[in-house]
Amino acid sequence: MLISPADKCPMHSPFRTPVGLSFPVRNIFCVGRNYREHAKELGNEVPSEPVIFTKPTSALCLGNEPIVLPPHSSDVHYELEIVVAIGRRVKNESATEVLSALQAVAVGIDVTARDLQNQLKQKKLPWTLAKGLDTFAALSPFIEVEKPSEKDWGILTFELAIDGQNRQSGKTSEMIFSIPTLVSYLSHRFTLDRGDIIYTGTPSGVGPLKPGNRLKTTWNAFGTSLTWETRVTTDKTQQN
């Protein structure tokens, strides 16, 4: 039997299961410009409806696996976000109905090659080549949730420190579109299902990553305080 490179290296398998989930990631949906101040800091208009893009599952970077800076970008940024995991099929559901589909929550870093993204935006092209590179969907372990209300999803807090310096912090109460609203919106355009995860947008304070950076996130969700750490490298051999 032939063995593919993905079979030899679990990091590059398209069927990876994050810690805290009992199923692999199926699709990665992402939301842009979901915090007013972040939209403003990048010179973008505040959207009237969610800005949606996707990342390939090959971009996953789980747990303490390092974020790898690509050689063809000189300006790679961090964007800390709350990430939710879908636990069942969701199609054309309201914000109230989707609550029972939200199975787990994590924090993630939507890693972005900002110089490449700016070039793509100027050409009015999709952002995949700037946001979908290997390790550009960094993800903490998930924690399962016990049927929180729509209001509960609005009181999550999260922050990021790099090399001991606080760089970014956010509250889901400051989102333009709440988490249940985002999931409902997506369900009217795609069939969501078990294994889909959603990066829900980043607050202001994004900035560049450098080789050797050590990142520590602290987040509070539904009465639980958690931390997650990762690092940045340019050497792919350090991923193992």
CA-based Rg of the chain, rounded to a whole angstrom? 17
Q: What's the confidence (pLDDT) of residue 237? A: 55
Tens of pLDDT, residue by residue over 122-168, are 999 999 999 999 999 999 999 999 889 999 999 999 999 999 999 99
pTM for the whole thing?
A: 0.91
Number of helical (H) and strand (E) elements in the chain, helices listed first: 5, 16
Is the pLDDT score of 7 beyond 70?
A: no
| Residue ranges of domains in the chain | 24-239
Residue 157 · residue 80 · CB < 8 Å:
no
Q: What is the pLDDT of residues 29-70, one digit of tens each?
A: 999 999 977 667 767 777 899 999 999 999 999 999 999 999
Asked if the model's pLDDT at residue 78 lies above 60, the reply is: yes
Please give the single-letter amino acid code of residue 103: Q
CATH class of the structural domain 24-239: alpha beta
Instruction: List all residues 6 or more positions away from 90 whose beta carbon is below 8 Å from its beta carbon.
Output: 98, 101, 183, 186, 187, 191, 192, 193
Q: For the segment 203-218, what is each residue's pLDDT rounded down to a tens digit?
A: 999 999 999 999 999 9
* Residues 209, 217: Cα–Cα separation, whole Å: 15
Write the single-letter amino acid at 16.
R
